[in-house]
C-alpha cells in the first residue's frame, strides 16, 4: 500500500503543474456612466524626459484598452487626428476641446500625458489623464461615486477605494475653509456667510458625504450649471519592480493566452506590452473607483499554458 502511495506521489511530482488546475478570478469592468458612452481620445502628450517615447503607441494602447470595456464606443485615433489638423484646436482651452467633441459627436474627450517614463528595467510610467464632458452641464465625478455606500455591499469596498474617496471628499471640504485673497480674512466682515453657518451648522457650499450615493431620478431635468473643470481626473504611477504591480501583471497575462515565450516577466520586458498594461491599469482603476467593477468570473485552466 505504501508502495502505491509513494508511486502516486512521484507521479504527481513528475507531472508538475499539469496535475493541478490554476484557479483565478477574472475581473469584470463596464462603463458606469451611460451619458458618457461615446469617447474621443486626443493623442497623448509627452511630458517625460524621454524624447524617444512613441506617443502613438501610448495613445493606441489607451484606445485599445478603453474600447475593450463594455459600454464604451471610442472614435478611431486617426479620425481624431484628422479633426485636430482640420480645426487646429488649442487643447489648453476647455471650450475648444468641447467644440472638437461636438464636431466628432462624442460625449467626452480624453486628454492625457505621460509625465514620467523609464524604458529600462525597472520600467516606470506615470499617466495623467483628464476627461472633459462635451456637455458643460456635467460636473466632476469624484472617486467613490456610485460605490455601494450605505448598503450591505459597503464592507466589500476595497480599502484603497475607501481611502481615496475619503481623501477626495476631505480636499473638497477643506477647500471651503481655505481663505483666498478675494475673501475677507476676518469672519466678522462676512455676516451673511456666518449666519448661514450658524443656522445650518455647515457652510452653504460644504460637500455632503451622501453625494457618493446617486440621487433618485428627477421628474424634470435639472437646471444647467456650466463649469470648465474635467469631469474625471486621474494621475497614476506604475513601477515594474513594485510587487503589487507585478502581481496584477501576472494575473492580467494569465487571461491573455499569449503564445509568445517569456511568461508575464517577458510580457513586461516588452515596452509596448508594458505601456498597454499601464493603460489597462489606469482605466480599470478609474472605473472601479466610480462603480464600474462588475462581478468577477471564476476561471479554471489545466496544464501548461502555450
pLDDT tens digits for the chain (306 residues)?
Answer: 555 555 555 555 555 555 556 666 778 889 999 899 999 999 999 999 999 999 999 999 999 999 999 999 999 999 999 988 888 877 788 898 999 999 999 999 999 999 999 988 888 999 999 999 998 888 888 888 878 777 877 778 888 888 888 888 888 777 777 776 665 555 554 545 544 444 456 677 777 676 667 667 767 776 777 777 888 999 999 998 888 888 888 877 776 776 676 677 777 878 888 999 999 999 999 999 888 887 766 666 655 544
pLDDT value of position 113: 95
Asked if 58 and 48 touch (Cβ cutoff 8 Å), the reply is no
Residues 6+ apart with CB under 8 A from 136: 98, 224, 226, 227, 228
pLDDT value of position 306: 43
Q: What is the pTM of this model?
A: 0.78
Please give the Cα distance from 53 to 271 (Å, whole number).
10
| CA geometry: angle 39, 42, 48, nearest 5 deg | 135
Whether the CA torsion 192, 198, 204, 207 is positive or negative: it is positive
Please give the Cα distance from 199 to 150 (Å, whole number).
27
For 214, the grid coordinates are 446617486
To the nearest 10 degrees (0 to 180), the angle between helices 55-67 and 271-288 is 50
pLDDT value of position 180: 67
pLDDT value of position 154: 77
3-class state of residue 50 by DSSP: coil
Length of the chain: 306
pLDDT value of position 259: 64
Whether the CA torsion 284, 285, 290, 293 is positive or negative: it is positive
Amino acid at each position: 500500500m505504501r508502495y502505491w502511495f509513494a508511486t502516486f506521489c512521484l507521479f504527481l511530482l513528475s507531472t508538475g503543474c499539469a496535475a493541478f488546475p490554476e484557479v483565478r478570478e477574472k475581473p469584470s469592468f463596464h462603463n458606469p456612466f451611460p451619458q458618457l458612452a461615446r469617447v474621443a481620445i486626443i493623442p497623448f502628450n509627452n511630458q517625460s524626459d524621454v524624447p524617444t517615447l512613441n506617443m502613438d503607441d501610448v495613445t493606441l494602447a489607451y484606445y485599445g484598452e478603453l474600447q475593450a470595456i463594455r459600454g464604451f464606443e471610442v472614435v478611431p485615433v486617426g479620425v481624431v487626428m484628422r479633426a485636430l489638423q482640420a480645426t487646429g484646436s488649442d487643447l489648453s482651452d476647455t471650450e475648444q476641446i468641447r467644440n472638437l467633441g461636438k464636431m466628432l459627436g462624442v460625449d467626452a474627450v480624453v486628454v492625457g500625458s505621460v509625465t514620467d517614463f523609464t524604458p529600462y528595467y525597472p520600467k516606470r510610467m506615470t499617466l495623467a489623464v483628464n476627461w472633459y464632458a462635451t456637455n458643460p452641464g456635467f460636473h466632476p465625478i469624484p472617486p467613490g461615486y456610485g460605490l455601494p455606500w450605505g448598503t450591505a455591499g459597503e464592507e466589500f469596498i476595497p480599502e484603497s477605494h475607501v481611502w481615496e474617496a475619503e481623501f477626495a471628499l476631505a480636499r473638497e471640504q477643506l477647500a471651503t475653509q481655505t481663505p483666498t485673497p478675494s475673501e475677507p480674512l476676518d469672519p466678522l466682515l462676512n455676516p451673511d456667510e456666518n449666519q448661514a453657518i450658524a443656522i445650518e451648522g455647515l457652510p452653504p457650499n460644504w460637500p455632503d458625504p451622501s453625494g457618493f450615493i446617486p440621487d433618485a431620478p428627477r421628474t424634470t431635468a435639472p437646471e444647467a450649471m456650466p463649469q470648465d473643470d474635467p469631469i474625471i481626473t486621474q494621475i497614476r504611477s506604475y513601477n515594474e519592480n513594485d510587487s503589487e504591480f507585478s502581481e496584477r501583471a501576472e494575473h492580467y497575462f494569465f487571461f491573455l493566452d499569449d503564445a509568445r515565450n517569456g511568461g508575464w516577466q517577458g510580457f513586461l520586458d516588452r515596452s509596448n506590452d508594458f505601456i498597454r498594461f499601464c493603460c489597462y491599469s489606469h482605466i480599470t482603476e478609474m472605473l472601479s473607483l466610480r462603480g464600474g467593477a462588475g462581478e468577477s468570473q471564476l476561471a479554471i485552466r489545466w496544464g501548461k499554458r502555450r
